[in-house]
Structure 1
């Protein structure tokens, strides 16, 4: 991650700080972000902070509230309760909840109990945030595909909620940037795991990595990851729904390819519970569950169509 407007030393320092923070904490919550100065960096360089934090969370398989922080920054809701005392209840595929008396979603809960809830709801074709008192929600830890992520399933009674305005589209774009970065981080880590295996393991007296078919599998995966990285960097500069959707689709593809190709070169060893590969695969599928590929494909088609019209007018 270089970013056209970012100093290389700043990026290196951010990566080192994120690596230390995730290595030192099993779950990175609000206090850890504040202690390392990340709140200031999010305000000064939001795209840099979101991408670096999300990628490092993927590489180290850490639980954190990075996705929620990215969404909050884009929402730009000044009247919302602070992140230290509230949690955003995230709907499936980042589509806002229907305006119903009770909703169920996912949230990170690491503050005082009970914390207040922020619930995105669509009302009359406009997305608003509902500020709900803490006692109206009942969180239960999620222990399914990826319990290390630290999520809770929350059922919220929306009675008496206070509506707050928000910029939902920008918030979702920031969230997609975070998801794409985490998938790229996961895919990069999977390549490293596979590379270490094919360098140290031997067959017929030579390292597995000496075989062309192994080299081609990892090379193809590396190309996909680098392409996703480039589109992610475009997203940090462009800040449009088209850029965010394109980066998320490319990152999803890179993760899928890393899952199949790295699992293939790892062989049966990579399928064991003792090997780390399954943790990356489970985390990646959990992250990818937030991404609706059909919706993002439509956003990209619409964006490319608009770009084609503009080019036609120019020529």
Structure 2
């Protein structure tokens, strides 16, 4: 996808998001944009643009299900029907019997649940979860609109169980796709935070000068910018390569960038940046949740280090 087309597609996505009604998700309006044709032209490029906009606009991320289902089906690991919902592991190990749906749950449709039982290794349960109960996913960002479900309820329902190599391949594909998408949204969130902070310091004055003119502020913003650009370069590689290794690197870089950018932007915006009325906290909280999903930056870095030590990049 050339730069001019990418710019037009991004503008169309942003304009469409502004028209999304309450309770609606961007995936509901993608067909009207001819999204399938755009994906056929350049699927990785289209996915990158979509999750970039979703991150910047703090929008719903039901598109994550569609991305995972597409990748898993293409890999030939599992036959997941179009529109299937994927239950991701809860980031808190103390809630291992619960899973997370990256959207609200109305009790209808097919769900795919990895690792239903701890003693079965990598195993998937796929079926209709009409009787499953879900509650709102709380945590630090209750504006996500996600659902928290008890995965044990799926295991006791009628459905198809898949184990062995196919299940393991499907799980690795899910991790790669999910980590890449979360990394992209984290990098985009960082860009939005820098923009918010830069506009703030350009307007605020101290001793008759814009505080953005002070070298200490400029150096801090430069640090945040470098971290964000490094993360975005890693994410760009992950979209193209679509490997477990590149996805882990991207997630590690993006999570670390969010930590850096959060610290810098909250510091230079001062008391205003800590207030509930200032928009910065929305990006800090959303990014913290995304960093926790499918492995934090610290966890990814440790895993990558272990793989390098034993000479077996994954």
> Whole-Å Cα distance in 2 between the matches of residues 41 and 93 of structure 1?
33
Q: TM-score, normalised by structure 2?
A: 0.84
Match of 1:218 in 2: 221
Instruction: Determine if contact 2:104/2:146 at 8 Å carries over to the other structure.
Output: no
How far did 1:255 drift? 0.8
Partner of residue 182 from structure 1, selected from 180, 185, 210 = 185
Matched ranges for 1:46-125 at <5 A:
46-76=43-73, 79-83=79-83, 86-93=84-91, 103-109=97-103, 113-121=107-115
Unaligned runs of 5+ in 1: 1-5, 310-315
For residues 78-120 of structure 1, the C-alpha deviation after alignment (integer angstroms, 9 at most, x for no partner) is: 632321xx4211112499x98xxxx421114568642332101
1:146/1:111 CA distance change after superposition, 3 Å: closer
Tell me the secondary structure at the aligned position of residue 79 of structure 2: coil
> Whole-Å Cα distance in 2 between the matches of residues 55 and 93 of structure 1?
23
For residues 262-311 of structure 1, the C-alpha deviation after alignment (integer angstroms, 9 at most, x for no partner) is: 001100001111110111111111111103345422442355458799xx
Matched ranges for 1:1-315 at <5 A:
6-25=1-20, 27-42=24-39, 44-76=41-73, 79-83=79-83, 86-93=84-91, 103-109=97-103, 113-121=107-115, 127-156=122-151, 157=153, 158-159=155-156, 160-164=158-162, 165-166=166-167, 167-290=170-293, 291-301=295-305, 304=308
How far did 1:58 drift? 1.5
Matched residues, number: 297
> Whole-Å Cα distance in 2 between the matches of residues 130 and 43 of structure 1?
30
1:127/1:43 CA distance change after superposition, 3 Å: farther
> Whole-Å Cα distance in 2 between the matches of residues 132 and 28 of structure 1?
23
> Whole-Å Cα distance in 1 between the matches of residues 36 and 122 of structure 2?
26
How far did 1:243 drift? 1.0
The CA RMSD over aligned residues, in Å, is 2.8
More strand as a share of residues: 1
Moved more, 74-83 or 252-261: 74-83
